[in-house]
Amino acid sequence: MAAASEANSSAVQFSSLRAIAGDANVSEGFTEFQIPLLRDLSFARKVDASLAARYANYSGSGAIWAWKAGASWEINPQLRLRATKSRDVRAATLQERYDQTRGGITVTDPANGNAVVSAASFSGGNPNVQPEKADTTTIGFVVQPDYIEGLQVSTDWYKISIADAIAQLGAQTIVNNCYTGDTSLCQYVIRRDNLPNGVIDRVDALFINLAAQEVEGVDAEISYRHPISLLGTGPETLSVRVFGSWLMHNSTQNRGGLLDERAGAIGGASLPKRKATMSVTYGNGPFSWFVQGRYIAGGLLDRTLAESANPYVAANYAGTLITGTINDNHVGSVFYVDSNVSYKIEALGNLSVYANVTNLLDRAPASAPTAIGRTGPSEFNSALHDVVGRRYVVGLNYKF
């Protein structure tokens, strides 16, 4: 049990909640412009530009600028190109500065043959954390072909490069990164007698500024809505929407540390490389039927481990921060189906009845076990997968 102190407001078994005190002041000003550039030309039906700037002064970290520049080029009613470039900033929240908690953790120690160690922890706020700065670039297009009424296709590529990213690394990540050469994190791993391979007594997981984080990917969407005549009993419509995302990179790197590529990591990061959602809605007067399918790609259980039979798999698939091997490092993909049926009772005005079914096929979550800690083992990733199973909701909805 963590030792109690006068600064603790309460203590419960392996953790203690500390009294939080802190404040921050901010003054800011911003401006924004929408500028029409071209109209009704042979190569451009419409070209617009947008400009914005923001100045902020934070009491905890000083003054900082943010800005955005964008352009939209509508070549004709069927094709529009768009692009933006921006500098975005974010200062630490009160929680990221002042909220601190004592507790306990269980980690494996690569400096001692991956021995499992139970140790104390100190996590949470850091009053010295500085604002993070992100340079964001997006380029995309929208297509609405006149020969298929109701169809729209859009695709956007994005890249976000963050400097001084505010992050709270997990205890295991701190231990691993220190072991693989990120000396800036070794100050947070407190070992017995200050020996490089001494027993871990405590790991401090505070909010810190990482040197760099980069996120890159592609989002695509297809939507279609059109009247149909299927049953011939009323005004019928069919709507289809498909949205997919491809995460190409989501990496972090601290000063002096190795690149930690998290794209494709399911365990510990919840960042599958591919996700897709498709929905179909059929409407017939007061009746509506909605069906949705959700696909989540598989990936790595632990990006810091390589499969013993194929040691190169993890390094090529996700990260370069390899600290050991595992027999099976794969988490399978999952596909969920949800459905909703509703009917508006026109004789009663705005009253409608509905029924929802989530996880219609009762798909079990992919197995993604994590290390056993003080709260016991975790077999599934509840942040990414459905761990409840099929469930039903029936109800009434009335709009006043």
- The residues facing 115 across adjacent strands are 109
Decide if 98 is inside a domain: yes
Decide if 273 is inside a domain: yes
CA distance 154 to 143: 6
Decide if 230 is inside a domain: yes
Contact 133, 87 (CB under 8 A): yes
Handedness of CA 372, 376, 380, 384 (dihedral sign): negative
Identify the domain containing residue 182 by its residue range: 71-398
Collapsing DSSP states into helix, strand and coil, what is residue 94?
Answer: helix
| Both tokens assigned to 369 | 């076990």
Contact 321, 303 (CB under 8 A): yes
What is the reported pLDDT for 328? Answer: 84
Decide if 42 is inside a domain: no
Place of tokens 């954390």: 129
- Residue 17 half-sphere exposure toward CB, CA atoms < 13 A: 5
Decide if 41 is inside a domain: no
Decide if 167 is inside a domain: yes
Would strands 324-326 and 287-296 be described as parallel, antiparallel, or unpaired?
unpaired
What is the reported pLDDT for 24? Answer: 74
Nearest to 136 by CA among 213, 81, 208: 213
What is the reported pLDDT for 320? Answer: 57
What is the reported pLDDT for 22? Answer: 67
Contact 28, 54 (CB under 8 A): yes
What is the reported pLDDT for 228? Answer: 87
Decide if 64 is inside a domain: no
What is the reported pLDDT for 318? Answer: 45
- Number of structural domains found in the chain: 1
pLDDT tens for the chain, residues 1 to 400:
333 333 444 344 444 555 566 677 888 999 999 999 999 999 999 999 999 999 998 887 788 899 999 999 999 999 999 999 999 998 888 888 888 888 888 898 999 988 999 999 888 888 888 899 999 999 999 999 999 999 999 999 999 999 988 888 888 889 988 888 888 889 999 999 888 889 999 999 999 888 888 999 999 999 999 998 888 777 899 999 999 999 999 988 877 677 888 899 998 789 999 999 999 999 998 899 999 999 999 999 888 777 766 654 444 444 456 767 778 888 999 999 999 999 998 777 789 999 999 999 999 999 888 654 445 557 888 889 999 999 999 999 988 7
CA distance 247 to 273: 5
What is the reported pLDDT for 39? Answer: 93
Decide if 270 is inside a domain: yes
Q: 298, exposed or middle or buried, with CB in 10 Å at 0-12, 13-18, 19+? A: middle
pTM attached to this predicted model? 0.78
What is the reported pLDDT for 201? Answer: 92
Neighbours of 229 (CB within 10 A): 8
Contact 137, 85 (CB under 8 A): yes
